[in-house]
Amino acid sequence: MLSVLIVDDEMITRKGLKSHVNWEKLKIDKIYDSGNPAEALEIVQKVKPDLILSDVCMPGMNGIEMCTKIREIHKDCQIIFLSGYSDKEYLKGAIRLEAVNYVEKPISISEVEEALASAVDKQLKNKRKKERIRQLVTENHSMTEKRLIERLSMPNAKSENLRPDFAKLRIDWCEMDEFAVTLYRLYPRDGYGADSIVREIRQDFSGFHYIYSVKEYRYLIFICAFSKREEGTLSDLAGRIQQRMLGYGQAPYYCVVGESVSSVETIYESYQSAVIKMQQMCFWNKARFGMAQSLSEDGLKFDEQILSDFTQAVKQYNEENAIKAIGQLYIFMQRQQNVMVSHIKGTYFRFIETLFQKAEFTVGKSDTMDAAIVGMIWEKLHEIDNLEACQHYLMDETKNYFKNVEELAKNNQTIITIISFIQANYRDTDLCLENIAENVYLSPNYLSSLFKKKMDKTISQYIADVRVQHARELLRDRSLKLYDVAVQAGYKDANYFTKIFKKAVGVTPSEYREKYNI
């Protein structure tokens, strides 16, 4: 049986979930709840629940922030988020935390049970897998070494928690003055298999105090300790490594020596600096050896005009200008070699997100992307390890988009004409079925029937969707009063605009502006 923690600042929601969900069927017998994220963190510390069912929007600390802290103290739990809003940043946060699901409010018990069933299945599989590993694998030196490296590579490593592993390895680093992580990324090739590469690399560390671990025969991590009272410094080690790499011509690996730190508890800083430097070297195809001096890096000062040009081209179905904007993006990114790779990928995500949003909206769906699509994009970007691959991914998706638009135009030219007319005239407060029909030379009845059949929504619904989409963009300009936003979105009556907006988004325009600090 499993346990769950429900976190929601609304008591009625917590009580409703506890009362109406079929917990027994889901194999959950311990149900904890809290209306306060800080209290919830204390509960997690004590009981380590298997599942977290959390609201996103809560006063003080939101659900994403709370679950980020939970991941630090209890990473082996499954997270499900509840929210009344499909905000992109919240969705991206949920994906970063590897949430199992994201259920929108108002809550449907059947949807919650379905999400819980998926989380239970995943958690039980994880538990069975861990049990098999525990039963089949006898703890040995290499496993202890690997576990110790994992702990040292994480923040908040405590000496008292590390002592048992140090003792098993018969290592005493109490008298050491300096520590550094050396990180390798292996690229085996003919004549240089992973095993032989690892054996050769270990020779460079002979005479030094170190522990090491191989991960998936792709990454090799060394943690070294140095003493002022002994021969052999970090500079000596770096010299050895460089000398061996020169002998290869082109070494079958990248190597980074992390920033030097002064205590066991701060080794994770050296690890982080090495990881960031390694990402940059691989992403930009720099030299295969590097020294990480610090964690400082240049911030990405992105030229938003490039994204604006791309977005406009996509909206206007102008493939030539979209491709031109992608080329400008690549030129810009080639000059950003001191920026963290995650920031570069985040920018490419924004461009691809624009394509998918427009594709969804063009075929009559919401302008808000499904969480699964967001996850798919991020997963693809996560797998990419160089700028050229990011560029190819964006270019391929853009060409696919325009190819699909072209096919849609061939088969549904009338629908495309209608959509384009609405997009161009949504500000007209008199825009209606009759004047659209007049402009596309169809009878109102036939146009209404055709549009409903092809788009699965009425003309009026589509016009409202377009207006709400643009109103959300207009609300970002705080110099505009709500009445001005209503008029520019195509509504004469601000009260009617508020009613339509709330029905579509879930909050009033003023609440939306405050909610997202616009």
Among 60-74, 298-312, 341-355, 405-419, whose mean pLDDT is lowest? 405-419
pLDDT digits (tens, 9 = 90+) for 206-257: 889 999 988 777 889 999 999 888 878 888 899 999 988 888 877 888 899 9
Distance in Å from the first CA to the final CA of the chain? 45
CATH number at residue 456: 1.10.10.60
Cα–Cα distance, 101 to 226 (Å, whole number)? 46
287 and 189 within one domain: yes
- Using the predicted structure, report yes or no on whether residue 441 has a pLDDT greater than 60: yes
Q: Is residue 111 part of a domain?
A: yes
Cα–Cα distance, 448 to 248 (Å, whole number)? 71
340 and 400 within one domain: yes
Among 96-100, 115-119, 255-259, 317-321, whose mean pLDDT is lowest? 96-100
436 and 337 within one domain: no
CATH number at residue 229: 3.30.70
Residues 387-407: what's their mean pLDDT? 87
Give how many domains the chain has, as a whole number.
4
Of 20, 88, 28, nearest to 56 by C-alpha is 88
pLDDT digits (tens, 9 = 90+) for 446-494: 888 888 887 788 888 889 988 988 888 888 888 888 888 999 999 988 8
Q: Which residues contact 338 (CB under 8 A, 6 or more apart)?
A: 280, 297, 298
CB 105 within 8 A of CB 84: yes
Residues 87-110: what's their mean pLDDT? 79
148 and 268 within one domain: yes
Cα–Cα distance, 397 to 401 (Å, whole number)? 6
CA torsion 124→130→136→137, rounded to 10°?
180
Percent of the chain with pLDDT over 70: 91
Identify the band that residue 366 occupies on the pLDDT scale cut at 50, 70 and 90. Answer: very low
Cα–Cα distance, 386 to 348 (Å, whole number)? 12
pLDDT at 95: 76
pLDDT at 364: 45
- Using the predicted structure, report yes or no on whether residue 297 has a pLDDT greater than 90: no
CA torsion 461→466→469→471, rounded to 10°?
-100
179 and 154 within one domain: yes
Range(s) of the domain holding residue 333: 304-411
- Using the predicted structure, report yes or no on whether residue 416 has a pLDDT greater than 80: no
Residue 35 has what DSSP assignment? S
| Alpha helices (runs of H) in 48-184, residue ranges in sequence order | 63-73, 88-96, 109-136, 141-152, 159-168
Q: Is residue 298 part of a domain?
A: no
Identify the band that residue 295 occupies on the pLDDT scale cut at 50, 70 and 90. Answer: very low
Q: Is residue 151 part of a domain?
A: yes
- Using the predicted structure, report yes or no on whether residue 50 has a pLDDT greater than 90: yes
445 and 432 within one domain: yes
Query: Listing from the earlier edge strand, what are the strands of the sheet with 2-7?
Result: 28-34, 2-7, 51-55, 78-83, 101-104
204 and 334 within one domain: no
Q: Is residue 297 part of a domain?
A: no
468 and 371 within one domain: no
pLDDT digits (tens, 9 = 90+) for 322-358: 999 999 999 998 888 777 788 888 899 989 988 887 7
pLDDT at 448: 85
CB 50 within 8 A of CB 70: no
pLDDT at 321: 93
Which of 264, 291, 318 is the last residue in one of the domains? 291
Residues 74-86: what's their mean pLDDT? 84
Which of 115, 136, 157 is the last residue in one of the domains? 136
Of 232, 245, 106, nearest to 178 by C-alpha is 232
pLDDT at 29: 92
pLDDT at 365: 44
Residue 473 in 3-state DSSP?
Answer: helix
- Using the predicted structure, report yes or no on whether residue 281 has a pLDDT greater than 60: yes
Q: Is residue 462 part of a domain?
A: yes
Residues 350-373: what's their mean pLDDT? 66
Mean pLDDT rounded to a whole number for the chain? 85
* Position with higher pLDDT, 367 vs 389: 389
pLDDT at 189: 77
Q: Amino acid identity, residue 25? A: K
204 and 76 within one domain: no
By DSSP bridging, strand 78-83 and strand 101-104 are parallel
Residues paired with residue 213 on neighbouring β-strands, in sequence order: 221
Cα–Cα distance, 245 to 256 (Å, whole number)? 12
CB 94 within 8 A of CB 81: yes
Q: Is residue 296 part of a domain?
A: no
Q: Please give the biggest Cα pair distance in the chain.
A: 93
Which of 86, 119, 136 is the last residue in one of the domains? 136
CATH number at residue 26: 3.40.50.2300
66 and 154 within one domain: no
Measured in whole angstroms, the distance separating CA 8 from the mean position of its chain's CA atoms is 23
432 and 392 within one domain: no
What are φ and ψ of residue 186, in 5° steps?
A: -90, 140
Q: Is residue 465 part of a domain?
A: yes
219 and 151 within one domain: yes
pLDDT at 28: 93
Q: Is residue 225 part of a domain?
A: yes
pLDDT at 88: 60
CB 228 within 8 A of CB 238: no
Among 57-71, 73-87, 254-268, 399-413, whose mean pLDDT is lowest? 399-413
